[in-house]
């Protein structure tokens, strides 16, 4: 039997392109996998960065809270002699400070303890206004100014933390980033929520030595 050989009559370059055409689906699949992998790594790194930013923002709050905790004993010891009949008020501040310093809880527990301390300080400042001797004490005025400054820094740090934490939580909820939340070991961050309206105001006391205007 005589064998006949059929010669390739197509374009000369087609026989070289055919293997590439056969492999094209596999190449596309590999490219897609690489793109998805790069995106997943980037999304994970973004969540990790936001998580670290949130932790750092909380540390800034902790620094200011510690500063306030350190100032309170100085204030109490300075005014104790002039406020010997206000032992209950002073003890309330000391007890609130002790509870706030215990820590160990989450953001909600810390916010509650610090809110109670803010309320105790507010009551103390109101009582202090009834003692003229304190108004003439430069040491007391300096301590009160430091406390007020620290309260303002706490409020600013608290707002900054809530902003960063909200951004972190929102990123976890967005698709498709929510697909890599587990890989990034991400979890929703607690916000510092103020339930008591009185806590929103910075405790202040008027220790000025100026005279009040006469009533009209």
Per-residue pLDDT reduced to its tens digit, 44-96: 999 999 999 999 999 999 999 999 999 999 998 888 887 777 888 899 999 99
Q: Where are the domains of the chain?
A: 36-200
Both tokens assigned to 97 = 């400070």
Are residues 207 and 128 in contact, defined by beta-carbon separation less than 8 angstroms?
yes
Res 203: pLDDT: 52
Residue 114's pLDDT band (cuts 50, 70, 90): very high
State the Cα–Cα distance between residues 41 and 44, nearest whole angstrom.
5
CA 32 to chain centre: 37
Among candidates 77, 116, 80, 111, which has minimal Cα distance to 95? 116
State the Cα–Cα distance between residues 140 and 127, nearest whole angstrom.
14
Are residues 172 and 47 in contact, defined by beta-carbon separation less than 8 angstroms?
yes
Res 209: pLDDT: 38
Residue 40's pLDDT band (cuts 50, 70, 90): very high
State the Cα–Cα distance between residues 185 and 181, nearest whole angstrom.
6
Residue 216's pLDDT band (cuts 50, 70, 90): very low
pTM over 0.85: no
Check whether 172 has a pLDDT greater than 80.
yes
Res 104: pLDDT: 65
Q: Where are the alpha helices (DSSP H) in 80-206?
A: 87-102, 107-128, 132-135, 138-173
CATH hierarchy code of domain 36-200: 1.20.1440.20
């Amino acid at each position: 039997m005589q064998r006949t050989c059929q010669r390739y009559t197509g374009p000369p370059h087609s026989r070289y392109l055919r293997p590439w055409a056969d492999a094209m689906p596999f190449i596309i699949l590999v490219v897609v996998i690489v793109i998805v992998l790069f995106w997943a790594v980037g999304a994970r790194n973004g969540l990790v960065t936001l998580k670290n930013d949130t932790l750092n923002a909380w540390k800034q709050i902790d620094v200011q809270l510690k500063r306030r905790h350190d100032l309170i004993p100085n204030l109490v010891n300075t005014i104790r002699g002039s406020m010997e009949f206000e032992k209950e008020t002073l003890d309330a501040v000391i007890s609130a400070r002790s509870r706030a310093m215990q820590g160990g809880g989450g953001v909600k527990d810390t916010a509650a303890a610090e809110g109670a301390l803010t309320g105790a300080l507010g009551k103390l400042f109101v009582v202090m206004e009834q003692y003229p001797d304190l108004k003439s004490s430069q040491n007391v005025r300096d301590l009160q100014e430091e406390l007020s400054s620290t309260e303002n820094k706490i409020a600013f740090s608290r707002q900054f933390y809530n902003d960063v934490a909200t951004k972190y939580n929102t990123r976890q909820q967005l698709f498709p980033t929510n697909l890599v939340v587990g890989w990034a070991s991400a979890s929703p961050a607690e916000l510092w929520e103020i339930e008591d309206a009185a806590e929103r105001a910075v405790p202040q006391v008027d220790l000025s030595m100026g005279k009040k205007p006469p009533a009209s």
